[in-house]
């Protein structure tokens, strides 16, 4: 997936993009006037999600906090929005009879398992070890792992048609003027101020 393409594709497919005022620049994209509807939605507010999802056939769930530095309160800043927010999106999708949900997760949900056999290909059976993530303060990995596990549990229990994509890093032209957290990670890696 190339940077911002998740936001461009809904224009072509005439799906709704969940957004707030900071995404107003999307109105300048080609055919936005006819095909783009912006909604102010909060992952922790089920009513706002239901309003934004209403009338859609499919949903790309791409929202989750990405820290750009230290996380003083990981439960509030990362875990709750990732886990509860994802469940709120999925429940709203079930209630709206959405045909398919594409949950854009992260390789972080599968990358941190120190016990995974070296050289063995990682597949859908591999998860980041939550105890290891906690012990090493890898809160983003922890939040993505917990969110995806809860998402799969909910999808199986409810019958919701869901697929996941675990991205490593989204790169490409940015649509906004400000640097987002994901791009900041890449910038820090390139400058040598962050190590993997």
Question: pLDDT band at 188, cuts 50/70/90?
Answer: confident
With respect to residue 19, please indicate whether it lies within any of the assigned structural domains: yes
CATH number at residue 100: 3.40.50.720
With respect to residue 129, please indicate whether it lies within any of the assigned structural domains: yes
- Model pLDDT, residue 20: 52
How far is CA 192 from each of CA 81, 160, 188, rounded to the nearest angstrom? 30, 43, 6
- What CA–CA distance (Å, rounded) separates 15 from 143? 27
With respect to residue 45, please indicate whether it lies within any of the assigned structural domains: yes
Q: At what angle do helices 80-95 and 139-158 cross, to 10 degrees?
A: 20
With respect to residue 158, please indicate whether it lies within any of the assigned structural domains: yes
Question: pLDDT band at 108, cuts 50/70/90?
Answer: very high
How many folded domains does the chain comprise? 1
Which residues are tagged catalytic? Answer: 144
With respect to residue 40, please indicate whether it lies within any of the assigned structural domains: yes
**Domain that includes residue 185, residue range:** 5-191
- Model pLDDT, residue 14: 38
Question: pLDDT band at 59, cuts 50/70/90?
Answer: very high
């Amino acid at each position: 997936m190339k940077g911002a393409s998740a936001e461009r594709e809904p224009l072509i497919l005439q799906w709704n993009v969940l957004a707030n005022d900071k995404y107003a620049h999307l109105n300048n994209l080609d055919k936005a006037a006819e095909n783009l509807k912006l909604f102010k939605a909060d992952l922790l507010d089920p009513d706002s999600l239901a309003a934004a999802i209403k009338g859609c056939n499919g949903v790309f769930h791409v929202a989750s906090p990405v820290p750009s530095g230290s996380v003083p309160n990981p439960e509030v800043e990362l875990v709750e929005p990732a886990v509860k927010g994802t469940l709120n999106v999925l429940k709203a999708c079930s209630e709206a009879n959405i045909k398919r949900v594409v949950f854009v997760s992260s390789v972080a949900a599968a990358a941190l398992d120190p016990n995974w056999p070296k050289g063995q290909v990682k597949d859908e059976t591999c998860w980041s070890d939550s105890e290891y993530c906690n012990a090493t303060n890898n809160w983003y990995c922890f939040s993505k792992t917990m969110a995806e596990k809860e998402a799969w549990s909910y999808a199986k229990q409810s019958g919701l048609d869901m697929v996941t994509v675990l991205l490593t890093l989204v790169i490409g032209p940015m649509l906004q003027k400000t640097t987002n957290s994901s791009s900041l990670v890449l910038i820090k890696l390139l400058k040598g101020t962050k190590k993997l």
